[in-house]
Amino acid sequence: MNLVTQRVSLPAFGYHGYMSSAKRVVVATSNPGKIRDLIGAAAAHEIEIATLTGFSQLPSVVEDGATFDANAKKKAEHYSKYAEGELVLADDSGLEVDALRGAPGVRSARFATDETGAPDDAPNSDDEANNARLLRELAGVPDEFRTARFVCVIAVARNGHTLATFHGKAEGIILHQPRGDKGFGYDPLFFFPQINKTFAEIDATEKAAFSHRGAAFRQFLDWADHLREQHPHKMV
């Protein structure tokens, strides 16, 4: 098994336990935006984010599940088979817009592509195209009805079997035009009232304190820490 590790050397803020001693999390993604988010979430715990070498050459997963849970589990189980004995994390995430009855939801990465009737195994549409379609769909919708949330489900698996799932949400409003250049996906359009900024106007470490992915990842850390407390002499 080959791993590529990315480490953020920032001081820990009082977190102790299994992940503090293991120092590494293997994640099944090559999406640079997701990797930045996870590095930001891991930074306060001095955790390394490791990705499988040659991830893009591994057999891919068709994300055809009806829920974020289903897709996250499918990816984690599939890719954990290529990292024997390791805890492997995979996430599925997306944007739910109330005025669009929860769309794009699990189709968030393919929102623009879906307009063409492309099959599920077609490449994802790019961020610009997805954001453009979102703005078209919300044209004329007033601010008070532009409520939305980011949703993330992280699944952790080992040797092809899901061990647990973790859920995070972030509630916000869809703007009429993008702001910021630090995020990815729908971040430039997602205004988070608590900080009076979009997710694209803050760096990955700050974003992790508020984001859906950061919330789910912290739940994973708590879970791993709890297991370590129960089994102090055994790797989880």
Residues 173, 143: contact at Cβ < 8 Å?
yes
> How far from chain centre, in Å, is Cα 162?
17
**Catalytic residue list contains 120:** no
Active-site hit among 37, 91, 92, 127: 92
Question: What is d(CA 92, CA 198) in angstroms, rounded to the nearest whole number?
Answer: 21
Name the residues annotated as catalytic: 92
